[in-house]
Amino acid sequence: MSTLSYIKNFIKDRDVAAITPSSSFLVKRVCRWVDFTAPNVIVEYGPGTGVFTEHLVAEMTRDSKLVLIEGNQAFVEKLRQRFGHDERVEVVHDRAENVEAILEAAGESAADYVISGIPFSFLDDAVKHELLQRTRRILNDDGKFLVYQNYNHMEKPLRRHFGHVHKEYEILNLPPMFAYQATK
């Protein structure tokens, strides 16, 4: 999907935070925290058109599973067109707040990784903290929550819910992004 399509969805849907797809630099920065040599259950919140998804599908093992949770119908349709043929990928038109039920419906009890680019700054504090609690609950004990945001507003909320938070900055993205790795 082109930048123009992103802009159109940005204008129509208040939950879309990006006007351009993520850069390959951001994808590589965030995904280097994923161990692709092991079978994983990966959940992606707000995959958009699938820039991260494409990398995940290319790198994950044959016995891994990827659950995509996307609230924008146009993006869901694009994801189903691009990745619907891959039995490892499940595209769900829903909100990340329902992750526990979505994961259960996918036949999984926990995730090894949750990757999120959803605009946490658009969420009120109660919803944000509830989503962080749910994300922590669905992660395996050694699981990781990988978040990218365009400004440094997630460090404190992540530290409130996770034992360890590591932060980096990717300037080679439009706009530049903060990348966080949070573990229990």
Name which of 4-8, 31-35, 86-90, 147-151 the model is least confident about. 4-8
HSE-CB of 139 using CA atoms within 13 angstroms: 23
Residue 171 in any domain: the answer is yes
Q: Specify the number of domains making up the chain.
A: 1
Helix extents (H) in 35-142 = 51-59, 73-83, 99-105, 125-138
Is the peptide bond prior to 175 cis by the omega test (within 30 degrees of 0)?
Answer: yes
Integer-rounded Cα Rg, in Å, for the chain is 15
* Pairwise CA distance, residues 133 & 39, whole Å: 25
Residue 91 in any domain: the answer is yes
Residue 10 in any domain: the answer is no
Residue 14 in any domain: the answer is no
Average pLDDT, the chain: 91
pTM of the predicted protein model: 0.90
CA geometry: angle at 172 spanning 118 and 76, to 5°? 30
DSSP letter for each residue of 79-102: HHHHHTT-TTEEEEES-GGGHHHH
Residue 3 in any domain: the answer is no
For tokens 């092991």, name the residue: 38
Domain that holds residue 79: 22-183
pLDDT of 173 above 90: yes
Mean of pLDDT values over 41-61: 97
Question: What is the CATH classification number for the domain harbouring 170?
Answer: 3.40.50.150
